[in-house]
Structure 1
Amino acid sequence: MSTPAQISSVPTPATRLRPRGLKDRFFANGGVGSIAVFFVFVVVLFSVATEDFLSVPNILNILRQSSPLLMVAAAMTLVITTGGIDLSVGSILALVSALCAILIQAGIPWALVVLLMLACGGLIGALQGFFVAYEGIPAFIVTLAGLSVIRGVALLTTGGYSIPIPATLSFVELGRGWFLGVPVPAIIATGIVALAFVLFTQTPFGRYVTGIGANAEAVRRAGVNTKAVTLFVYVLSGTMAALAGVVLAARLGSGSSNAGQGFELDVIAAVVLGGTSLFGGRGTMVGTVLGALTVAVIGNGLILAHLSPFLTPIVTGTIILVAIWMNFRIFRGAARKR
């Protein structure tokens, strides 16, 4: 027999059909809402503090520089939503950047080089995903080892030197080119993010990714090959890191084993800032885009404000910590109260 408390807790038709107001929807999506507010805040702050921040050349520069971050953050959203993490993306970026320059100097057509590098990134992701999904080793351990090993391979391959790429090759247009007044890297990143959004929100695969992070056993019992899904998100992460390495090498006109130092931390910060849970089961591609742009805007704004380069990481880290605190403590706390 149902108690009064149980009966009163059952939603009535009127309750279920009651439309949500704008404020209700905002708090229900506290992660995205908080980063949206914070993004507007930093844009206004740097617009007031510097003269050139809102200039068209600087905005286009931000879009160009944030493109590798957006590409990898889109894939990292899937990885973290499953409850995993990939610390090796910066090292994959560096290795691919260096290999691009080496292979192009060896006379291999650059289009083939790009395909080989994407395959290389996917293969590295598959190897790491195998240990995570099929061997049950924590993703943090696997990708931390990958971070060290892959960076070491890059250093061993190049001897620590930067390898130039001829500026006359059309390959450099992948990083420096323009199309209809928009940087080519920004166009590539937009396409990647759009595909990731559709994959994450409109396909069964995206639902499996979220389900694995929330309750992997329940998803497995529903007949889903959770190990294959988990492996595939690491393949995507490695492939996107490789694409970012290709774009970076094209933009800089060289390949370096020292590229991407700390890149993985920027990627993870962008994803978490956007409202994706580090514990898995909840992710948002829109929030990730806002998080990546926020990280890019902070870095660009601090440079325009002429802060010491030694002070920049301190300020950046503090701002990111405050933003995440707002996300977890204020907006989500308010959502629970409602």
Structure 2
Amino acid sequence: MDIAMEKKTTTRRHDLSHFLSRNAGVASIAGFFLCCVVVFSLAAGTFLTSGNLINILRQSAPLLIVAAAMTFVITTSGIDLSVGSVVALVGAIAAIALRAGVPDLVVIIGGLVLGASIGAVNGYFVAFAGMPAFIVTLGTLSVVRGIALLLTQGYSIPVSGTGIFTQLGRGRILGLPAPALIAIAVLLVAWLTLRHTRFGRYVVGIGTNAEGTRRSGINVRRVTMQVYMLSGAAAGLAGMIETARLGSGSSNQGGGFELAVITAVVLGSTNLFGGRGTILGTLLGTLTIAVLGNGLILVNVSPFYTQIIQGAIMILAIWLNTRIFTPQRRKKA
């Protein structure tokens, strides 16, 4: 009897250690996130209030949405630096269209299509022209931001009304902010897609071994292009939510947004070199960034330090990524 109990205990310990070794990155960011929550809860009495927590969810919703799509991009060993500019362009065009009397539903669908179209351009040059994703999306970042500046002439375009579009950023459902519920829905769909569909397995396969995946009969170029289209559509949705929440569209929206998105994804232990992606980690990474930004303000730390801390976290996350995941990939190879 004692031998049987000892075997069960050993098996449980082995399973736990195996689980922790496979999910070391997610476990570490979960621990760091909890530490941040505890520290700010003790340092600022208003941190854990319902109003502040709802505010964190509302403000982090666009970041969550784009980070979910960016997880797919980075898992294929790609990168999309244009998401911040797409947020600005789609948000500005949505505001212009609403002022011109275009119906809300048409504006929303058009914004998603525009974002996906920009993503398709990125995907074409990366997947079919064979250009580096960094160079392509860096160029798109500049072009798209320039178009947004041209259309707005540098001014903010106000949005008024109480229609469907405005509810994207200001509405509430069952007491929860609509942006947060949209973000949760996007994360759930992304998790199911990455973990339980063929498309998700193709994305992981491309990041692990693109040539091997192509030889197994998968259309690698098409899947890669679809991934960038998802990223563009997500950025378009985030841009419309931001415009609805702030009540105006501007070419200045999304400044530095791509840095926050990439930081959240890499911090969540998605492998920067492809082949491994986790939506749960992306959720934790995004919430960690949101909590840090909110908590630092509540404890009266200058907002200028937020960007410094975010950049430092980005460097640390990439360092851990290369130290933890790259050796494992080489060992498997």
If the length of structure 2 is used for normalisation, what is the TM-score?
0.92
Out of 23, 26, 32, the position equivalent to 1:32 is 26
Work out the percentage of aligned pairs sharing the same amino acid.
58
1:307 CA displacement: 1.1
| Residue 302 of structure 2: aligned partner | 308
| Residue 186 of structure 2: aligned partner | 192
After TM superposition, the structure 1 = structure 2 runs for residues 75-224 of structure 1, keeping only pairs within 5 Å, are: 75-224=69-218
1:108 CA displacement: 0.5
Instruction: State the SS of the aligned residue for 1:21.
Output: helix
Mapped to 2, the partners of 1:53 and 1:256 lie a distance apart of 30
**Residues 273 and 120 of structure 1: is their aligned pair in 2 closer, same or farther, counting only changes over 3 Å?**
same
Structure 2 residue identity aligned to 1:153: I
Deviations 1:174-224 (A, max 9, x none): 101111011000010011110111111000110110010110000000000
| Residue 235 of structure 1: aligned partner | 229
| Residue 7 of structure 1: aligned partner | none
CA contact (8 A) 2:266 2:321 kept: no
Larger CA deviation: 314-323 vs 160-169 = 314-323
Mapped to 2, the partners of 1:216 and 1:329 lie a distance apart of 23
| Residue 10 of structure 1: aligned partner | none
Mapped to 1, the partners of 2:17 and 2:325 lie a distance apart of 11
**Residues 331 and 212 of structure 1: is their aligned pair in 2 closer, same or farther, counting only changes over 3 Å?**
closer
Mapped to 2, the partners of 1:331 and 1:163 lie a distance apart of 45
Instruction: State the SS of the aligned residue for 2:303.
Output: coil
Deviations 1:15-54 (A, max 9, x none): xx96633233112211111111111111111111111111
Structure 2 residue identity aligned to 1:300: N
Structure 1 residue identity aligned to 2:85: S
1:327 CA displacement: 5.8
1:305 CA displacement: 1.3
Structure 2 residue 275 is the aligned partner of structure 1 residue 298:
no
Structure 2 residue identity aligned to 1:250: A
Gaps of 5+ in 2: 1-6
Structure 2 residue identity aligned to 1:198: L
CA contact (8 A) 2:154 2:250 kept: yes
**Residues 170 and 130 of structure 1: is their aligned pair in 2 closer, same or farther, counting only changes over 3 Å?**
closer
Instruction: State the SS of the aligned residue for 1:311.
Output: helix
Count of aligned residue pairs for this structure pair: 322
Out of 262, 265, 270, the position equivalent to 2:264 is 270
Instruction: State the SS of the aligned residue for 2:51.
Output: helix
CA contact (8 A) 2:69 2:231 kept: yes
Gaps of 5+ in 1: 1-13
Deviations 1:54-109 (A, max 9, x none): 11111111110110001000000000000100000000000001001000000000
Structure 2 residue identity aligned to 1:126: A
**Residues 243 and 54 of structure 1: is their aligned pair in 2 closer, same or farther, counting only changes over 3 Å?**
same
Mapped to 1, the partners of 2:161 and 2:114 lie a distance apart of 24
Instruction: State the SS of the aligned residue for 1:156.
Output: helix
**Residues 328 and 226 of structure 1: is their aligned pair in 2 closer, same or farther, counting only changes over 3 Å?**
closer
CA contact (8 A) 1:30 1:327 kept: no
